Amino acid sequence: MSTALNPSAAPAAALSIRYEHGELAALLAADDVLAVIGFGSSGPRSPDPRVLRVGLEPLSKTLLEVWRGRAPVHSGRDGELRWSSDGEHVYFAIELDEAACGGIDAAAEQAYACIGTFLAARETPHVLRLWNYLDAINLGDGDDERYRRFCDGRARGMNAHVPTRYPAATAIGRHDGVRTLQIYGLAARHPGTPVENPRQVSAWRYPRQYGPTAPTFARGMRSGVDQLLISGTAAVVGHASRHAGDLDAQLDETLANLDSLLQQAGASNAALGTRSLLKAYVRHEADAAHVADVLHARLPGLGGLLLLGGDICRSELLVEVDGVHQLDPPNRLR
Ligand code: 3EB
């Protein structure tokens, strides 16, 4: 088979993302492990650049998020940035103290400029997916809200490097009181295909009422290894939040949005299930068990679910879901 006529069919090494119980030292000893991400105050701590502890508390049994590529994985540091790579996929993470940068907007701008500079110099420049975690995301009124200021700095830092196609993303508020912006992400040698959701206005086209700088992310990203990287998805239809204060209705709407995104991505196995991993971010800890029950009931056989305490970037939203879904291979020339 020749792949020369179809660049999207270029062979790519698999990236495996799993939620597992595992012993940190054993995971780090494996030469195909790209990243080990843990959550909450008892999450993993290690000087290894592949390890990140995100300050969102797990609300169910705690698991590690483990990324595996193709051995051998190389890793290192570049200024504030930690990275690892198998030549096809790159994991990167950066944590910046907001005060030292001059505020949340300045921290976001600096983080994105660092990421852009680092990736532009490598053979893996295509950013597929970003996770952004910051404390007290809804603090501040109107355009002073910390999320809006984050969006402003992110756009400034990003536009210097990736002006044309936005990656998939999540932006969630932590409850840990630590004013450090935490970002991690995935880049690749081959570009992905951004996917928008027909039920939702593209985030970068949100009208002015949501802030001076629209959020710069795609609803999903289809990667070269037939993975659909699903951005944070909540009860937003068109550009409006739906069902303020009604958790069950927000969950229904979120699931309808996820369905719609999978259809749009061309999934022939167009339902989340055994080949999907999800994170659910819940604003109120007391809602966690119910959210888990609903998701397991509506998505039988779900491959994995991590429940995390976190604030959604609009204060009326109670829950947000992101994840990764393994698609059936597309019908290529065989
Ligand atoms: C929304 O649909 C909900 O700013 O990176 C979801 C995913 C949301 C990513 C981001 C925000 C972001 O607008 C919020």
Residue 217 CA: which ligand 1 atom is closest? 5
Buried b vs exposed e over 218-230: b needs ≥16 C-beta within 10 Å? bbbbbbbbebbbb
CATH of the domain at 198: 3.30.1330.40
pLDDT along the chain (334 residues), means of 10: 44 86 96 98 96 97 95 97 98 98 98 95 95 98 98 91 79 98 97 97 96 96 93 98 98 98 84 96 98 98 97 98 89 46
Indicate whether 315 belongs to any domain.
yes
Give Dmax over CA atoms of the chain in angstroms: 58
Looking at ligand 1, which residue's alpha carbon is closest to its atom 13?
203
Whether 230 maps to a domain, the answer reads yes
Residue 3 lies in a domain: no
Q: Are 206 and 240 a contacting pair, CB within 8 Å?
A: no
Closest-CA residue, ligand 1 atom 7, reads: 232
Domain around 203: 16-332
Residues in the chain, total: 334
Residue nearest to atom 11 of ligand 1 (CA): 171
Q: Which residue out of 128, 217, 237, 239 has the highest number of ligand 1 atoms within 8 Å of its CB and is therefore the one to mutate?
A: 217
Amino acid type, 123: E
CA of 67 to the centre of ligand 1 (A): 23
- Specify the pLDDT at position 328: 80
Cis peptide before 72 (omega within 30 of 0): yes
Tell me what pLDDT residue 331 has: 53
| Beta carbon of 215 within 6 Å of any ligand 1 atom | yes
What per-residue confidence (pLDDT) applies to 237?
98
What pLDDT is attached to residue 10? 53
Residue with tokens 């030549």: 87
Written as six digits, the tokens of 134 are: 């910051």
Residue type, 328: D
C-alpha distances (whole Å) from 317 to each of 233, 250, 306, 333 are: 11, 8, 19, 44
8 occurs within a structural domain: no
Contact 220, 194 (CB under 8 A): yes
**C-alpha of residue 156 to centroid of ligand 1, in Å:** 17
Instruction: Look at the chain and report how many structural domains it folds into.
Output: 1
Q: What is the DSSP string of 182-209?
A: EEEEEEESS--EEE--TTB--GGG--GG
**pLDDT at residue 55 in the model:** 98
Whole-model pTM: value is 0.95
Residue at 9 is within a domain: no
Quote the pLDDT of residue 1: 37
Is there an atom of ligand 1 within 6 Å of 313 CB? yes
Examine residue 10 and state whether it is found in any structural domain, yes or no.
Answer: no
Centre of ligand 1 to C-alpha 193, Å, is 18
Q: What is the Cα–Cα distance from 24 to 52, expressed in whole angstroms?
A: 11
Q: 169: Cβ below 6 Å to ligand 1?
A: yes
Is the CB of 254 inside a 6 Å radius of any atom of ligand 1? no
Residue 161 has a pLDDT of 59
DSSP character string of 91-141: EEEEEEEHHHHTSHHHHHHHHHHHHHHHHHTSS--EEEEEEEEEESTT-SS
